[in-house]
Each structure stands twice: as structure tokens, then as C-alpha cells.
Structure 1
């Protein structure tokens, strides 16, 4: 079967060349794309009773793609957001083929015409200051392992780093121990390798300085009890274990991203402007950061509600509303 017809060569070029060198997509995005086709190809193969290596581009019909998306939701229990992520990968692949082979333009159009499913954005989950402090109090700082876990948790809370940014942090990325009045900083490498710098609190600087003592500049900052760099799954397990020890967090799912949200929400409540928070978190678009502005509005609305419930006079209520408007 000619290469222009067989699905395999197109997929190899897409996954190994296009999204890596031409698009320079983030590592997690590339992994997501690969996972999509790891699920899609066996599904299509079973439906057509045809070996994966014999599948042609035209075998990947819009009807089969829709069946695959339904299988994700109904058979695998995936959310609409996950379904849309898988569809985005398939659309990108179709666009890749259609832009390089005119014979497949019509096929590309059919695939790209598949609509995304409307999904509600989940509410921003975050911890109060007391809950975050309770999490930080869980590791036993009398032991070496406990101090390392505390350093990782504190770093995540201080910087709002993504879990991948924390696990990839090297000793050379830290600018600490400056006694000349300079700021202690951590250089993070975000999506697509985009760098940014985050200031470190004195406490964070202190525990990190102890953590990297005797390490070379190319060593990872956060290592497990086995002496190997923390993995993203190791960070997830650490946070789940610490959250399980906090009674207030019972029945709540706490992840590294919840701590990232916590950092952003605490910055908002501290009066930090939204543009600074965008730079702090490494968001490309401020529209992504604007979800945290709702936290401040919610706090203000709760303030008005509590004032009313406490039986304040109309003059007091008017004064509170005026003060809140002035602070908006």
C-alpha cells in the first residue's frame, strides 16, 4: 500500500517530526497526542477487523471517530473535557495530512467538522490558609525525608509551579543565598520550555538551601527517599498522603494543581494585581488567569451577605457596599 495511503507513515511523521520539531509542543501535550492514538488505533482495528499496520487514512472515517469518542465517555468513563482533548489531537492530525496531500482534503474536512462537546469548567478548587498550613505541618521535619517533603510542598505553594516544573527543577535554576540585598529566585521552565522567574520567601530559600547542600548544579532539587528525582506521580502521591492526614480535607481530592490554584487565590486575596499573577503562574493569556478574579468577587459578595444576615442597618450596608465597590 503506498505511503500516502497508509496511516502508519503519516502518523510517524506527525508524532515524531511535526509536533516535536515544527510545532515544538510541550512534552505533556506530545504525550497526550500519543496516548490518543494508542487508544484510537486498536479501537479502529477491532471495528474494521483489520491489522493496525494495514489501516489506511480513509479507514479513519468521521463515523468511527464519533464511535471512538462515545466509547471514551461511555466505556472508559472519561469526561467531556477529556473527550474534547482526544478530538483536538485527531483534528490536528487530520489538518496535518490535509495540508500536505490535496487528495485527502475532503477527508480532512469531514474529520475537522466533528464538533467538540460543550463542557462546564470545573470550579476552582483551592485551600484556605489554615488548610494549607495544616498540609505543610504533616511532614516530620525531624527526619531527612520529612524535610525534603516539606521543602517540595512549600516550594509548590510559594511559586504555584506546575508539577512538571517542580520535578524538572535543577540546582542551577535556583538563585538563592544572596546576602547583597538581591532577591532569591527560582527559574521555572513552563509549557514549551518558556522560562519565568518566581521570587522565593525567606523560609523557602532556607529549606531549599539545606535541600541542595552538596549537590552539583545539574542535580535535581527534589529527590525521593531513593535518591532519584521526584516523578510527577511521586508528587501526586505525596500530596494525597499529606491531605489524608488533614481532617478538614476528608473526602476532597487534593492534587498539585489544587495547590497551584491555592497560590493564585491567596495572591488575589492579598491584593496582587491579575497581571502579576499571570506572570507568576506562567499563563500565556490573561483570560486564563481571570478565573481567579472570581474568587475576590465571591469574597466580596459573602461580605455583603454576612453583613445583611447580622442585621446591620441600611446605612451600614450601604457603607459596606460602597467600600467594596471602591476596592474593585
Structure 2
């Protein structure tokens, strides 16, 4: 067997050259691909009863990769989306293998033919304006923690930022002194975008910066945790869950909704859509790489119309291209 089929040199060249230097991958991408390949190697070592360092490339054949993907879903209870993300990392590595070592092209080609799995796309959950306001108002404004929590919830709700974008914002990313305030969000895949900041959020952020003694030009995190370090993803989730739990006392129906930091992003998207904003604008606002990702909000809006008509006693198979002209007229006439 050729020494070029050894796994270790190919892995090293993949991470040191292809991902870092040639693809200029972000640290988050490198970490995600590293974790996926680490899991695959540990699975292969256990299945073949070899030490990880003793594995060769031919051990990672198509059948083993398929068995690994099955285990992700069946034993680890990973979603189809997570399974596909792991497969994307594996395919990226084998693209490198095919280019770096012609002798291993056959092994790589068989793995690269593994298709991604189609996932069922559920209706997007979101909150109404009143529900969003209730959650934002839940933190106790008499305490520093409560004021920080409210500002963070308001930031998620008004900007539609991902959690990673919200906790990554620094004071120098803000422009609050302009007639129209704005914030620079550092999105996935190094796709930065500028988002307008409404007046209520601008006031909350300005008050938070004053309380912490930070000026707009300092590269310091806006949202910090209990130990004055940048807020983590876990901390952000805890803030949302704590506020949601308190908001249930005011609106008991919130207990039935899966409230997470991401639901504010969905809620803003639905609000923009229902206000007549086109999908391309929403795509740019949210930082989606493809408009197909944004299209699910339009599908969710159609589902809302269908549910409303069925509750009113107007039933039918409307499909995804639902045009409720006659049904809506019936509903309006019945009111």
C-alpha cells in the first residue's frame, strides 16, 4: 500500500493547507469540520478495533461512512440537518483527498457519491408582536442584570440577529449618534451586514453603554456575563428562557411555544413579510446566503392563512400555491 494512503498526512494537509490557507475558512467552520472528522475517526477505530493513529484511508470507505451517518441519526438522535452537515465535512475532506493523492481517487469517489438526505421542513414557529413585547418586558429593570437582559432581548427582536452575531457585537460596531442608528453584524462565512437600529433599541443600548462606562468607539463587547466576559451562547439561551418563564405568568399561552433565542429572528422575519417587505430584502436583512432559506417564511405565512380558514369552517386542499380568493371572500362576508 502506498504511504500516501496513510490517513494522518492527509488530515494534516487538509486542515493546514486546504481549509486554512486555500479556502480561508472561518474558525467556526474549521472547528465544525474538525469535530465531524474526529467523530468519524473514533467511530472507525471502534468499529475496526484499531487505534485511531493506525487507521489508513481505505478504512474510511463508503460503507463505513454510511454506517457512521446512520449512527448519528439512530443512536445519537441527530437531526437530518446535522447528519447532512457532518456529511458536508466528510465530503470536503475527500475532495481534498482526491486532489492530493491520485492513488486514492477511487476511495474518495465512492464516498463523494453519498447523497445528502432530504429533511422535512416544519412550519416556522414565531411570536406575535404582543408576545415578543411581553418577553422583552419580563426582566426586572431595577437590577443591572435585568437591564442587560432587556437590552439583549430587544437586540434579538429588533435586529433579527443570530445568537453568535448578537453576542459578538462590540461597542465600535454601533453607530448611535447618526440620525438613523445602525449596527454592524458579523455574519456566518464572513458575510457582514449593516442593520438599522430602531429608537427603542438605540436608547436601551446607549443606556447600557453609559452604565458600563463604555464609549461607542471601544472594541469591547456590549453584552457580558456574570464574570465580565463576553456573553456565551449558553448565557444567551439562559437569558431568553428566564424571561420566557417569567412572561408565562402574564401570558400563559407562551408556555406552549418553543421559545429560544432564534425565535426572535423568525418573529421579525414574519413581521417584515406580513408588512409587505419582499423576500430579497428579508434575505439581505437576515444575512441568508440563499433566498430559498428565506422562502420558508412565505410558506409559514400561507400555513397561517390555511389554519385561519379551517378554524373558520372553510376547509379544502389549498396546497403550497394557495390562492384564497373565494375562501377569503366567504370569511370576510361571515364577519
Deviations 1:264-289 (A, max 9, x none): 01111122222221111011222221
Mark the CA change 1:323 to 1:23 in structure 2 (over 3 Å): closer, same or farther.
Answer: farther
Q: CA deviation at 1:166?
A: 0.9
> Unaligned 5+ residue runs, structure 1?
310-316
Deviations 1:34-86 (A, max 9, x none): 11122111111111221111211111111111111121122211122222211
State whether residues 72 and 83 of structure 2, in contact with CA within 8 Å, keep that contact through their aligned partners in structure 1.
yes
Residue 17 of structure 1 corresponds to which residue in structure 2?
17
State whether residues 24 and 192 of structure 1, in contact with CA within 8 Å, keep that contact through their aligned partners in structure 2.
no
Deviations 1:69-110 (A, max 9, x none): 121122211122222211111111111110121111111111
**Per the alignment, in what secondary structure is the counterpart of residue 103 of structure 1?**
helix
**Per the alignment, in what secondary structure is the counterpart of residue 100 of structure 2?**
coil
Mark the CA change 1:251 to 1:302 in structure 2 (over 3 Å): closer, same or farther.
Answer: closer
Q: What's the TM-score once normalised by structure 2's chain length? A: 0.86
Deviations 1:127-151 (A, max 9, x none): 1122211211211111111010110
Q: CA deviation at 1:160?
A: 0.5
Mark the CA change 1:237 to 1:277 in structure 2 (over 3 Å): closer, same or farther.
Answer: same
Q: 2:288 aligns with which of 265, 283, 292?
A: 283
Q: CA deviation at 1:261?
A: 0.8
Residue 160 of structure 1 corresponds to which residue in structure 2?
160
Mark the CA change 1:95 to 1:280 in structure 2 (over 3 Å): closer, same or farther.
Answer: same
Residue 185 of structure 1 corresponds to which residue in structure 2?
182
User: Hey, what's the Cα distance between the residues in 2 that align with 1:280 and 1:109?
Assistant: 39
State whether residues 312 and 331 of structure 2, in contact with CA within 8 Å, keep that contact through their aligned partners in structure 1.
no
Q: CA deviation at 1:6?
A: 1.7
State whether residues 131 and 248 of structure 1, in contact with CA within 8 Å, keep that contact through their aligned partners in structure 2.
no
Residue 51 of structure 2 corresponds to which residue in structure 1?
51
User: Hey, what's the Cα distance between the residues in 1 that align with 2:37 and 2:327?
Assistant: 59
User: Hey, what's the Cα distance between the residues in 2 that align with 1:244 and 1:38?
Assistant: 37
Mark the CA change 1:3 to 1:321 in structure 2 (over 3 Å): closer, same or farther.
Answer: farther
Residue 206 of structure 1 corresponds to which residue in structure 2?
203
Q: CA deviation at 1:321?
A: 4.5
Residue 269 of structure 1 corresponds to which residue in structure 2?
274
Mark the CA change 1:303 to 1:63 in structure 2 (over 3 Å): closer, same or farther.
Answer: closer
**Per the alignment, in what secondary structure is the counterpart of residue 276 of structure 2?**
coil
Q: Decide which moves more: 156-165 or 264-273.
A: 264-273
Deviations 1:134-190 (A, max 9, x none): 211211111111010110110011110011111111111000033xxx210001111
State whether residues 177 and 209 of structure 1, in contact with CA within 8 Å, keep that contact through their aligned partners in structure 2.
no
Residue 224 of structure 1 corresponds to which residue in structure 2?
225
Residue 314 of structure 1 corresponds to which residue in structure 2?
none
Residue 136 of structure 1 corresponds to which residue in structure 2?
136
Mark the CA change 1:137 to 1:19 in structure 2 (over 3 Å): closer, same or farther.
Answer: same
User: Hey, what's the Cα distance between the residues in 2 that align with 1:221 and 1:102?
Assistant: 50
Residue 173 of structure 1 corresponds to which residue in structure 2?
173
Q: CA deviation at 1:298?
A: 3.4
CA RMSD of aligned residues (A): 2.3
Q: Decide which moves more: 162-171 or 279-288.
A: 279-288
**Per the alignment, in what secondary structure is the counterpart of residue 117 of structure 2?**
coil
Residue 72 of structure 1 corresponds to which residue in structure 2?
72
Q: Decide which moves more: 95-104 or 236-245.
A: 236-245
Deviations 1:223-270 (A, max 9, x none): 123211101111112112222232323254322222111110111112
Q: CA deviation at 1:198?
A: 0.6
Mark the CA change 1:284 to 1:118 in structure 2 (over 3 Å): closer, same or farther.
Answer: closer
**Per the alignment, in what secondary structure is the counterpart of residue 212 of structure 1?**
helix
Q: What's the TM-score once normalised by structure 1's chain length? A: 0.88
